Structure formats: C-alpha cells, structure tokens
C-alpha cells in the first residue's frame, strides 16, 4: 500500500519543526510565528489533498533557500523531512518516490554532518564503527540526527526490494535509540517508539526481522500517545499482525481506528490518513488472510 500515515506523521513533525527552526534563523518575529501556525494548520487539516497540492511550493522554497545558504543544517533538515514526507505519501510512481526519498536522505546526511562531525563517515561506516560514533551524540545533535534517521527510513521503505537499503535498518534503529533520551514529550516519544516498531517489522523473522520486539514498541507507542494517534494502530496491524498472519488482532486494531474520533489537536491530518489506510487494509485483508 502506497500511503503510510505513520511515516507521514514522523516526517511531518520533522518538516514542520524544521521549517520553524530554519526560517527562524534568518527571519524573525511574525514570520516565525507564521511558520509555527502553518505547521499547526497542516496537522489540523482534514483534507490530505490540500496538503498534497501545497507541499511542492515548500519543497521549492527550501531548495531556493539552500541555493543561497547551502550549509544551514536547520534548513537542510527541514528539506530532508519535507522531501521524505512527499516521497512516501504523495508520490504515485515508485521511481519518483525513490528519487524524492534519495534527495531527502542526502539532505539529512548533509545536515547531521554539519552538526556532528563524526556523522560525516556514517554512509560508509561498518556497524561497529557507527555504533561507537554515537557515544558523544547529545541533545545539541538530536534534531539533525532525527531528521536523518526519518529520511533514511523513508528511503529504505521506498527501496524495500533493495537488500543494500534493508541492510541499513540496524543503523537507523541504533540512531533512534541514541536520540530517545533527549525526547521529553510523551506524544513525540510515542512517535519514535512507533518508528522503532516499523523498523523491526519491515522484514519477516526468517530474513532478520524481530516482530515480537516490534510488538513491544507498538504497544509502548499506543500507551504514550494514549491511543489518540490512530496511525500507530494502523502500522501495528500492517507491520506486525499481517506479518504473523494474526487476523483477529489485525481486524480489531483497524476497527478501533475506524470507530475512533478523527479530529484531535495536532493529529487530524494523521488520523484522516490512518482511517483511509484502515479501510483499505480491512478490505484487502479479506484476500490476505
């Protein structure tokens, strides 16, 4: 299924926060407030089509800002998030999704390299070297590291038939685990636990996946978000229940999504996409199970 509301939530969080932080570095006051309000308007928008049609303007805006300020890590992180979001959610053509998420990952690589010099070697590091490089990662680097991790996951999902891309999953998981201590908000923390659930359910057990670990992460995400973020249950059903052919759990989770309220502060768009996915998953589940 092309639409992945959980990933959209993760990427939208990075993109909106990055737009605020990035714009705030060279415009001030009312303009920064406008960017903040814009982010909230996006999250509270019940029509995904409006977001889809408006996003390319911001992609071009961020590209133009980077033309004049190519080494601004905040703008690079914002561009990384928005390109990843658009590539995962709204790119109809698989090849276009791969192109957009590759650009997202490249922007993310540049952002974290500028913020944390040890990260400059990450693309070519072996896993042991990569893990050792995370030792000095701290709160100052968490934003850029999160942007890079999310863009990397978007790239991997757009290239899920590429074993080279899938081999980077343990790297992304370790990076997210390194960032978790610096996340204080429960809802945001739930977002990243759900992210970890997705990472551990992209592959079946025979190919190195750890679905039971994914289940723990999904359940933790539901607790932290108090069940208000409906896309957590969608990814739980898609990533875990389908992987292990647990139809009862699959259908229960998706029925709960459809029965829940859509509108919630900061979650309306995500929940709208989640309900759409839930309906599609229930319908396709009739042939899947």
Please, where are the H alpha helices in 205-246? Answer: 211-225, 230-236
From 9, 37, 19, 32, select the one nearest 197 (Cα to Cα): 9
Please, where are the H alpha helices in 70-185? Answer: 73-89, 94-115, 127-133, 142-158, 163-166, 169-179
From 77, 234, 200, select the one nearest 150 (Cα to Cα): 77
For residues 200 and 220, give the distance between their C-alpha atoms in angstroms, rounded to a whole number.
14
141 Cα distance to chain centroid: 18
* 47-61, 235-249, 255-269, 271-285: segment of lowest average pLDDT: 47-61
Half-sphere exposure of 252 (CA within 13 A, CB side): 5
pLDDT at 5 over 60: no
223: helix, strand or coil: helix
6 Cα distance to chain centroid: 7
Q: Please count the other Cβ atoms lying within 10 Å of the Cβ belonging to residue 208.
A: 13
Q: Read off the pLDDT of residues 24-55 as tens digits, 9 standing for 90 and up.
A: 444 444 444 444 455 566 677 778 788 778 77
Q: Read off the pLDDT of residues 158-206 as tens digits, 9 standing for 90 and up.
A: 898 888 888 899 999 999 999 999 888 888 888 889 989 988 988 778 7
pLDDT at 224 over 80: yes
- Averaged over 205-212, what is the pLDDT? 83
Q: Which CATH architecture group holds 183-289?
A: Alpha Horseshoe (1.25)
For tokens 């900061």, name the residue: 266
Contact 7, 89 (CB under 8 A): yes
Q: Read off the pLDDT of residues 259-277 as tens digits, 9 standing for 90 and up.
A: 999 988 878 888 998 999 9
Contact 157, 202 (CB under 8 A): yes
Apex CA 87: angle with CA 224 and CA 251, to 5°? 45
Q: Read off the pLDDT of residues 99-125 as tens digits, 9 standing for 90 and up.
A: 999 999 999 999 999 999 999 999 999
Per-residue pLDDT, 136: 92
CA dihedral 107, 109, 110, 113 (to 10 degrees): 160
Can you give the residue ranges of every domain in the chain?
Answer: 1-174, 183-289
Per-residue pLDDT, 287: 94
Contact 85, 12 (CB under 8 A): yes
From 91, 86, 99, select the one nearest 2 (Cα to Cα): 91
pLDDT at 250 over 70: yes
What percentage of the chain reaches a pLDDT higher than 90?
A: 48
Contact 141, 112 (CB under 8 A): yes
For residues 13 and 210, give the distance between their C-alpha atoms in angstroms, rounded to a whole number.
26
For residues 16 and 34, give the distance between their C-alpha atoms in angstroms, rounded to a whole number.
12
């Amino acid at each position: 299924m092309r639409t992945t509301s959980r990933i959209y939530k993760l990427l939208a969080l990075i993109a909106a926060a990055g737009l605020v932080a990035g714009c705030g570095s060279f415009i001030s006051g009312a303009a920064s407030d406008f960017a903040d309000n814009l982010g909230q308007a996006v999250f509270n928008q019940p029509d995904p089509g409006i977001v889809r049609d408006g996003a390319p303007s911001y992609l071009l805006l961020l590209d133009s800002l980077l033309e004049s300020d190519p080494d601004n890590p905040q703008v690079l992180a914002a561009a990384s998030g928005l390109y990843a979001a658009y590539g995962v959610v709204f790119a109809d053509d698989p090849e276009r999704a791969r192109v957009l998420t590759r650009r997202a990952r490249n922007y993310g690589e540049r952002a974290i390299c500028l913020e944390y010099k040890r990260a400059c070697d990450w693309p070519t590091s072996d896993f042991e070297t990569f893990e050792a490089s995370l030792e000095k990662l701290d709160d100052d680097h968490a934003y850029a590291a999160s942007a890079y991790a999310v863009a990397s996951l978007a790239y991997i999902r757009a290239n899920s038939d590429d074993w080279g891309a899938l081999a980077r999953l343990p790297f992304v998981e370790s990076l997210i685990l390194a960032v978790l201590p610096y996340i204080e908000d429960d809802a945001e923390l739930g977002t990243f636990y759900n992210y970890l659930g997705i990472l551990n359910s992209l592959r079946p057990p025979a190919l190195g996946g750890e679905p039971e670990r994914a289940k723990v992460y999904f359940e933790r995400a539901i607790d932290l978000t108090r069940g208000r973020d409906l896309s957590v249950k969608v990814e739980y059903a898609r990533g875990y229940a389908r992987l292990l052919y647990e139809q009862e759990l699959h259908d229960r989770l998706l029925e709960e999504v459809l029965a829940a309220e859509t509108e919630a502060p900061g979650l309306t768009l995500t929940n709208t996409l989640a309900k759409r996915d839930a309906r599609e998953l229930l319908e396709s589940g009739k042939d899947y199970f």
